[in-house]
Chain A
Amino acid sequence: MKIKMKVSDLLPYKSKRYTESMNSFVPREAIIPLLQEKDTNTFCTVNQGDIIKEGQVLATSKELHGSIIHSSVPGYVSQIGYISDPDGKRVQAVKIKLQGEFSLYGKPRQKIDWQKFPQNTIRRIICDNGVVNTFGRVVSLIHQIDRLPEKNRHTLVVRLFDLDPSYTTDQFIAEQYPEEIITGIKILATAMNAKRVLLIVPQNFTPSKPLFPSENTEKILDGDLEYITIETDTSFYPVGGKKDIMSLVNKKNKDYKINFKDLYVDSSTLYAVYEAVVYNQPVIDKFVHIAGHAVYGEGILKVRLGTPIRSLIAELGGFIKDGGKIIINGILMGHNITDYDTPITKGVKSVIIIPPKDVVSPRSLECIRCGMCRNVCPMGLAPDILYGHYAYKHEISRGHLNTLRNCSDCVLCNAVCPARLPLCQSIKLLRGAVK
């Protein structure tokens, strides 16, 4: 008997939905980390004192389709040093003092007829504009497309809601910018030569304009590209991870299956693809959901990359209570950082500031064998047994070890554990050790 976890039981408050966003103030000094993606290396292409244009490349990778970092503001390089990034790591960063004229911000934009471009050109544009895939870990989108096995045409799986129910950035983008999202999908489908597009939409999805002109949106054919819309119940958790989507799709359909080799993207990524290809604009800003009971206001801001979290909080009216914890990318799936001067990067979708009274004690005790972790695990793992094996070297069967790869990292086991054991983290470490 598996316990299905309701989002309303999981979150301390209901996550609000928004119909409009606002542009954040341009920071006086943008702090731009030179490493914003996983598994990549970049080298700095500017020096201290250099005059920088808006959108100028600050760092690039030695690889052909590697990471590229652009400046979000015009100015001069005031410092190149090390800062802690939103992942909590120490990384090299460029500090740019705002100065001079904007070349992109506020200027009239010209749409490019991207449909004339061949596949390779589209890929090049996506790469040059530094588009990353924020579906899961932040990785270079073009790098992912490059790694798709060429012998088959793949499925493009689009998630139009947020992985973590404590923020609503992706759903906001999908609902408020449906045209951009559909264009982004078309561009990406062309770039990867997709066979079909699966749109995973939440039950409460209310786009400002219909995604497709036809009424029957379940299955639409556009040339040889097939669009299939699948609805999922986001009042339960987890539903947005790769494995959850795979289970949902493969259970519902017999005609086709999806797997790890397909490409999974979210609304933020598609919006960035649209901006990159249709307007040739590098990734220099992004939508971020700022929330939390310690902050006066909350909402969706379009933030220049490199803006410190402190400025965003000030813009939303400042603190109304002592800030307890800064949580990046969700209460369930996110992580916490300690520095309010940490800048927004490509991977940040949400910043939640919770007051001290909402901060839970992380003190762990021994396992009390309540079985809650087993009963809630959607993948049928026994997290307590795996934790015992990892932490205390308890003997376990091969069967349990084989379940390690099924872990979807949803942290439900941690959320229900009265002993506050780091079950999910132990499984992740154990998985690495077993590999």
Chain B
Amino acid sequence: MKKNNAMTLRPFHFVTPSIFTMTGTVLCVLVPHILMLFFSASFDSLLIIFATLLSSCLAEAIDAFLIRKKDFNIPVTLLQGVLIGMFLPSTYPVVTIFIIVFVTLFIAKYSFGGIAGAWVNPIAFSIVMAYFIGSIWFPTFIIAPHYLQSNNTSLMLINDGLFPICSFDAPLTSFLNNTIFSHLGVNIPEGYVSMMWDTGAIIPAFRFNFFTLIGSLVLFSTRCLSWEVPLSFIITYCFMVWLLCPVFAGGSLASGDIILALFTGGTLFAAFFVLSWFGTVPMTPTGKIIFGVTTGMASFLISGYGLSAVGAMFSVFCGNIFSLIIQMLEHLYSEKQLSLSTRPHHHLEEHN
């Protein structure tokens, strides 16, 4: 009773969830991913996630207790560790990744400090560093150009056995076609359900798109994530893929396969869980939309259909650079506004 009745500052109700709630909610929506890794016996991936989690905690502990003498921020540290681990291939050596992530995060924390001190996304930065040091452990998705010329690349890839098909795919597809899609006059082919459920990639973030989408709905509905950045990013990226992707492989204009682009390469995962990382996005709604659009364009140029192991992270990295420019422009605009109206309410003090 006493604790609850302690004196606090106003207001006594907040519109947005706190950082603790936000990070806690994101961690909660990642739990199904972890469970799925466990049930699909992907113990190597779990080990990698555990290693990155430990290195993230160690970097934060040293920074918090020895250098800055501040509170240990547990939820953000855990989330950072889990997200880094989710973007690493299960083939990556555990000890190596532990050291790389620890050094990268420690340098980032020491140089910039705090949760939102760094202009660069610490998750993307760690993955990019891991890629430069051990690119041989990252998978290479090289597919023949004739796949890319098609307007239904994903179906061709499914038919050619490049994606694993789940046992429940056929009955579930049939059920969905009969109950939902028949009313819309469309049918989905077999294989899409499996692609949504588990792509079978060795990078966990690329796998469970269904849980990523459900997680994003939870984050939007609980206001843990604002829509501007992820939605503008996804819309731009999808539009670019649909419009231009086949053209680069000698195909026709406006026939790109959006589903393939979204469900491979961790596009959705990066958009919902990584792109809006604290301190790396512009401040105004307009700036956030521009950031999403430019990052979406960069993502298309870097990873095309999304069949890239680190394309999403390089896109985030590029987005961070755009963000700096956008933030600079925001600052200039705000200073200009201030100089135009040093006292916006000067007229209020005029006597009638």
Contact = CB atoms under 8 A, between A and B. Distances in A.
Interface stretch (A31-39, A211-219, A223-231, A403-411): A403-411
Interface in A17-38: none
Contacts of A417: 14, 16
Contacts of B348: 243, 246-247, 250, 257-260
**Helix, strand, loop or mixed for chain A's interface?**
loop
Interface residues of B, number: 48
Contacts of A351: none
Nearest to B287: A371
A11 B14 CA distance: 8
Contact of A414 (B6, B11, B284): B11
B338 A354 contact: no
Given A336-B7, A368-B278, A418 B352 contact: no
B352 A326 contact: no
A300 to B, nearest CB: 21
Interface in B1-26: 1, 4-20, 22
A362 interface: yes
Interface in A241-271: 243, 246-247, 250, 256-261
Nearest to A353: B5
Interface stretch (A41-49, A108-116, A327-335): A327-335
A9 B15 contact: yes
A314 interface: no
A426 to B, nearest CB: 10
A367 B279 CA distance: 9
B183 interface: no
**Helix, strand, loop or mixed for chain B's interface?**
loop
A416 B16 contact: yes
Contact of A419 (B19, B287, B344, B350): B19
A338 interface: yes
A379 interface: yes
Contacts of B349: 259-260
Interface stretch (A125-133, A184-192, A276-284, A317-325): A317-325
A399 B342 contact: yes
What bracket does the count of chain A residues touching chain B fall in? 35 or more
Contacts of B283: 369-371, 374-375
Given A246-B345, A250-B347, A380-B337, A335 B10 contact: yes
Given A247-B345, A380-B337, A374 B284 contact: yes
Given A11-B13, A331-B12, A399-B339, A363 B20 contact: yes
A88 B7 contact: yes
Contacts of A256: 352
Contacts of A261: 351
Given A333-B10, A399-B342, A414-B10, A372 B16 contact: yes
Nearest to B12: A331
A433 interface: no
A257 B352 contact: yes
Contacts of A327: 12
A91 interface: no
B108 to A, nearest CB: 15
Interface in A337-383: 337-338, 354, 356, 358-363, 365-372, 374-375, 379-380, 382
A425 interface: yes
A1 B13 contact: no
B279 A403 contact: no
26 contacts: A1-B285, A1-B286, A257-B352, A259-B352, A323-B5, A336-B7, A336-B10, A336-B12, A338-B7, A360-B13, A360-B14, A360-B18, A363-B20, A365-B19, A365-B73, A366-B115, A366-B116, A380-B341, A402-B342, A414-B9, A414-B10, A414-B14, A415-B13, A415-B15, A415-B16, A419-B19
Given A246-B345, A375-B283, 4 more contacts: A243-B345, A258-B352, A399-B339, A400-B338
The 7 closest A-B pairs by CB, nearest first: A371-B283, A399-B338, A362-B8, A368-B278, A368-B116, A356-B4, A324-B4
